[in-house]
């Protein structure tokens, strides 16, 4: 399995809940390192300015 992984482009999902509300689930997947970078940028900007936003397009391929 290791030989089939591309560690430069690792797709996955981050599941994020606040209380009982699911904010992100497994259907909202992307490259995992980029998802974490988006979140870190959002957190940093929120701390600095009090608000932040980003665009996240959800593509459901079935």
Rounded (5°) CA angle 4-12-21: 160
Q: Nearest CA to 24 among 36, 11, 14, 35? A: 14
Per-residue pLDDT reduced to its tens digit, 19-61: 999 988 888 888 888 889 988 999 999 999 999 998 876 665 5
Mean predicted confidence (pLDDT) in 11-15:
89
CB 39 within 8 A of CB 60: no
């Amino acid at each position: 399995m290791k030989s089939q992984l591309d560690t430069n482009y690792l797709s996955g999902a981050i599941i994020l809940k606040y209380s009982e509300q699911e904010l992100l689930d497994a259907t909202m997947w992307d490259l995992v390192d980029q998802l974490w970078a988006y979140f870190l940028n959002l957190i940093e900007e929120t701390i600095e300015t009090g608000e932040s936003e980003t665009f996240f397009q959800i593509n459901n391929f079935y």
